[in-house]
């Protein structure tokens, strides 16, 4: 009798395990559908050509007048850049360049690795290796009026647990359900005037999304890859959205731009003088007569007898 019960229990467990495997395979197939050209567009998508943009995000701010030339400087030694490598995300520069050109706010000039190819072509021309009429003579490179520096501040995932996909029963099938966690990122863009070194603008942006983890608890390495690789895609999307938010905030501020002014000129000592100093503000301070401290209220003068 006990043997029959054991066999029956084993059969039910095998059936549950088989059902769980089939469900996982079905879900995995849904995640692995063939790519379609032009689908899965993110916050920054489409193309830019000169002042024109195609299939760009309608929420991206635009400029009627181009404000100057711009180079992007990404600090690859910063801690946030190291975190990008952990998520297997590349440089932020290509996304920023596309977004900025689509806005028509700045003309992008190359100051990255492609500069090596630019200089190599000039070496060919100087060495008479280029054809006649190649027009690589001196004085053609465009200066960068401004430099933009991006940075990212990451926030750890929140939430988690057995939220997931829902609809699954207990036991083995319950393990198919994944977990839900929120990804958040905050980004900063700094705009510097290259000739003076003065900061023209600074903007911060944020974005967040929800990340659905699948299969990890139940199936480990064999089926875990289906959800593990997919979980990294939302990280890239949320960072791009945060940069778009930063840039939109910057463009709005630049539309109302008014240069900061310091009496006497920038870099000549400022308006906070010190006694005995050589700046204009310090000399103004020394030229003023010393003020006597005010008498304390409530005190009476001594009465002469």
Question: Residue 54 falls within a domain, yes or no?
Answer: yes
Domain for residue 3, yes or no? no
Give the other-Cβ count within 10 Å of 95's Cβ. Answer: 21
Strand, coil or helix: 179 = strand
Whether 47 maps to a domain, the answer reads yes
Which residue in 126, 148, 5, 138 sits closest to 67, CA to CA?
148
Mean pLDDT estimate for the chain: 77
**108 phi and psi, to 5 degrees?**
-80, 130
- pLDDT tens digit sequence for 42-74: 788 888 998 888 888 889 999 999 999 999 999
Q: pLDDT-derived band of residue 287, with 50, 70 and 90 as boundaries?
A: confident
Distance CA(84)–CA(281), nearest Å, equals 46
**What is the model's pLDDT at position 41?**
66
Question: Could you tell me the two tokens for 48?
Answer: 């830019």
pLDDT-based confidence at residue 132 (cuts at 50, 70, 90): confident
End-to-end Cα spacing for the chain: 124
For range 276-291, the mean pLDDT:
85
**Nearest alpha-carbon partner for 260 in 175, 202, 179, 180:** 202
Q: Is residue 116 part of a domain?
A: yes
> Sign of the C-alpha dihedral, residues 18, 23, 28, 30?
positive
Question: Which domain range does residue 77 map to?
Answer: 43-133+141-255
Q: What CA–CA distance (Å, rounded) separates 126 from 117?
A: 14
Q: How far apart are CA 122 and CA 120, in angstroms?
A: 5
pLDDT band at 16 (very low <50, low <70, confident <90, very high): low
Does some domain include residue 95? yes
Asked if residue 164 is part of any domain, the answer here is: yes
Contact yes or no for 160/202 (Cβ under 8 A): no
Q: Is residue 250 part of a domain?
A: yes
pLDDT mean over 113-130: 89
Percent of the chain with pLDDT over 90: 38
Non-local (6+) Cβ contacts of 209 within 8 A are: 182, 183, 234, 237, 238, 241
Res. 165 pLDDT band, cuts 50 70 90: very low
198: Cβ contacts below 8 Å, ≥ 6 apart: 192, 260, 266
Distance between CA atoms of 209 and 187, rounded to whole angstroms? 15
Query: 254 falls in which pLDDT band (50, 70, 90)?
Result: very high
Tokens describing residue 146:
């401004």
Structural domain count, the chain: 1
* Residues recorded for the chain: 305
C-alpha to C-alpha distance for 5 and 48, rounded to whole angstroms: 70
Q: Strand pairing partners for 193?
A: 146
Of 282, 189, 201, 192, give the one whose Cα is nearest residue 244: 189
20 assigned to some structural domain? no
Query: Could you report the per-residue pLDDT of 198-245, keeping only the tens digit for each?
Result: 999 999 999 887 766 544 443 333 333 333 222 345 778 888 889 999
């Amino acid at each position: 009798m006990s043997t029959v019960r054991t066999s029956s229990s084993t059969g039910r467990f095998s059936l549950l395990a088989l059902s769980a495997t089939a469900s996982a395979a079905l879900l995995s197939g849904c995640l692995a559908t063939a790519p379609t050209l032009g689908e899965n567009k993110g916050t920054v998508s489409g193309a830019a050509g000169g002042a024109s943009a195609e299939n760009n995000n309608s929420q991206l701010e635009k400029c009627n007048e181009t404000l100057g030339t711009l180079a992007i400087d990404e600090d690859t030694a910063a801690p946030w850049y190291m975190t990008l490598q952990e998520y297997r995300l590349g440089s932020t520069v290509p996304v920023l360049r596309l977004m900025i050109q689509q806005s028509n706010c700045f003309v992008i000039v190359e100051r990255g690795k492609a500069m090596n190819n630019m200089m190599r072509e000039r070496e060919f021309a100087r060495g008479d290796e280029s054809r006649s009429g190649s027009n690589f003579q001196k004085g053609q490179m465009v200066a960068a009026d401004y430099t933009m520096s991006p940075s990212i501040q990451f926030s750890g995932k929140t939430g988690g647990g057995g939220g997931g996909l829902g609809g699954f029963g207990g036991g083995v099938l319950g393990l198919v359900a994944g977990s839900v966690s929120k990804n958040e990122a905050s980004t900063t863009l700094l705009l510097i005037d290259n000739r003076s070194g003065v900061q023209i603008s600074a903007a911060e942006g944020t974005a967040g999304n929800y990340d659905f983890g699948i299969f990890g608890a139940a199936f480990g390495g064999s089926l875990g890859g289906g959800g593990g690789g997919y979980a990294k895609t939302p990280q890239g999307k949320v960072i791009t959205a945060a940069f778009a938010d930063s840039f939109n905030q910057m463009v709005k501020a630049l539309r109302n731009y008014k240069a900061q002014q310091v009496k006497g000129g920038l870099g000549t000592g400022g308006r906070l003088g010190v006694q005995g100093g050589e700046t204009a503000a310090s000399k103004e301070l020394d030229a003023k007569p010393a003020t006597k401290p005010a008498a304390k209220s409530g005190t009476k003068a001594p009465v002469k007898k």
